[in-house]
Every structure is written in C-alpha cells, then in structure tokens.
Amino acid sequence: MKKTLAILLSAMLCFCLLAACGEEPTDTTASPAASEEPSSAPETEVPSEEPSGEVSGNVTANGSTSMESVILALIEGFDGVNPDVSVGYTGSGSGAGIEGVLGGTCDLGLSSRALSDDEKAEGAVEDIIALDGVAVIVNPENSVSDLTTEQIAQIFTGEITNWSELGGADSAIAVFGREAGSGTRGAFEEILGIEDACTYTNEYSSTGDVVGNVASNPNAIGYASLSAVNDTVTAVAVNGVTPSEETVADGTFAIQRPFVIVTVEGTELSPAAQAFLDYAMSDEVADIITAAGAVPASLAG
C-alpha cells in the first residue's frame, strides 16, 4: 500500500513539474514595437517650408529700370521656393521690354507705365504687381520744398527757367529726365499732360543716372521712381503732399504709375515663367514689394 502511494505521489509531482515547464511566463512590460499596431493608412504629409522644386528652367525678364529694386527682391524670394528656376533681369527700359516680349526675345516684359491702346492691340497684356510714386527730386541744397503740378509742368516745358521764380536762389534750372521710351518719363509726362513738350537740359538712360546727376548739381531738378530715391537727393512735396508709400496707396500723391509685368495674349508661358508670374501676383509677396519701396497692387486703395 505504501509502495503504491509513493508511486502515485511521484507521478503527480512529475506531472506538475512538466506543466510548470511548459507554461510561458507573462511579460507585463510591453515593448514599444509590441505596443504599436501597424497602420495601413498612409502617413499625413506635414506642410514644409522647404523648396518645392516642382518647376525648373530659365526665365528672362526685360524692361523698366525703375522696377529693378522690386524685381530683384521678387527674384530672391522666388528662388527660395523654386531653386531650380533661374530668373534673369535686364534693365533696358519699359519700351524695350514691351517690344522684347512682343517680339519673343524675352519671357516677361517689365513696364513702369500702363500699356497704350496700340500695344494692347498688338497683343500685349498687363498684370499690375505694384504702384509707384514718381518723385520730383532736387538737390539737397535747394530751398524749394513744395511745388504744384502746374509749376512742375512749367519747369519741364521751359516756361519757368529760374529758381527765383519759385522762391529759390537766383539760378538757372537744370532740367534732367529720362530718354524717350522710358516708362518713368512716359508716366510723368502723361500725368502732367506735357507729352512731347518737355525741354531737357540732359536725358539719361537709367533712373540711377538721373538721381546721381541731380545729387551732384545744386540747380538740378529731375524725376525718379520713389523706390529709387535715396538721401543724396530731396523729394519735394507735390500739391502739398509728400511722396511716400502711404500717400501713393491712398491716392493722395498726384504723380504715380503702375509697375507692370507684360505677357502676350494667346502665348502660353513656360511652366517656370508662369510660376514666377503667379508668385509676383500673389498676396504672399506684399511684404517683399513694400520692403523694396513700392506699394503692392493688392493694398492700393
């Protein structure tokens, strides 16, 4: 009997040991890999400020020298989002830029005046990206600080020839301006109603030349894009209104004109050129245009 009981006890002990060995221990610490269930849904792409690189190629922009500051600032901003596009700018004057885009020698024309009816009839299309004041500038030594539009017209047509007639020094006025075909000249003369009636002492091929020569001549007067005016010259008030981005935007400054990108009706732009035009016309470049000294078209009232 004792022998039988011993055999049964031994068998039970073996069974328990075998069961214990076969049982897997429970791990209460879940590993990261085990706790994360795989998902079949695609990951949501997080918007990034990194360059898109969606377009590539070369873009040629030709025209207004007055638009130089604005266009170069836009090119720099555009390069940050489209590094595979190279945009080249040549300042040859508004007339040359319009002729260039109509003749197919550049992708985008740049004009610092509105297009004429004849140019539109040839197929030119204007997109206004900004407004700019045309500042009337004198040498800092000049005591004359405010002129009416009538007085300005009389100076540039030769009816007023001495600063003493305007309360200044007894000195002959040197009248400086841009060459024929300049958008700045075209806008200035059209606004004042003196087209083809001006008498210039000297004509220059760029805005920078006008500014530089007025700065070096105490008796000079000229005009320049507001964005090109620096502390070497003085911009006079016109009809009592000082030229500024604010007075251009609210329309109180009398002498102002559009900055225009010109394309050709019915001619499809390359993806790179279209991308730059879209960028220049977008709301996101308002700060860039303002920093360059012009008024974004979207903010003009």
37: pLDDT strictly greater than 60: no
pTM over 0.85: no
Q: How confident is the model at residue 227 (pLDDT cuts 50, 70, 90)?
A: confident
32: pLDDT strictly greater than 80: no
CATH class, 57-130+257-299 region: alpha beta
To the nearest 10°, report the CA torsion of 136, 139, 142, 147: 0
Pick 292 or 30 by higher pLDDT. 292
133-256 CATH? 3.40.190.10
Work out the average pLDDT over 86-98. Answer: 96
Pick 22 or 242 by higher pLDDT. 242
pLDDT digits (tens, 9 = 90+) for 173-219: 999 999 998 999 999 999 999 999 999 999 999 999 999 999 999 99
For position 28, what pLDDT does the model report?
37
For position 106, what pLDDT does the model report?
98
**Contact criterion met (CB below 8 Å) for 113 and 190:** yes
Q: Provide the strand spans (E) within 50-123.
A: 57-63, 85-91, 108-111
How many residues belong to the chain?
Answer: 301
39: pLDDT strictly greater than 90: no
Q: Provide the strand spans (E) within the chain.
A: 57-63, 85-91, 108-111, 124-138, 146-147, 174-178, 202-204, 220-225, 234-235, 237-238, 256-264, 295-296
Q: How confident is the model at residue 29 (pLDDT cuts 50, 70, 90)?
A: very low
Compute CA distances 3 → 6, 15, 16, 112, 193, whole Å: 5, 19, 20, 118, 133
Query: 10 Å Cβ neighbour count for 202?
Result: 14
User: What residue type is 44 in one-letter code?
Assistant: T
48: pLDDT strictly greater than 60: no
Q: Which of 112-116, 159-163, 217-221 has the lowest mean pLDDT?
A: 112-116
Q: Give span(s): CATH 3.40.190.10, the chain.
A: 57-130+257-299, 133-256
Q: How confident is the model at residue 299 (pLDDT cuts 50, 70, 90)?
A: confident
**Contact criterion met (CB below 8 Å) for 85 and 55:** yes
Q: Is 200 exposed, middle or buried (0-12, 13-18, 19+ CB in 10 A)?
A: middle
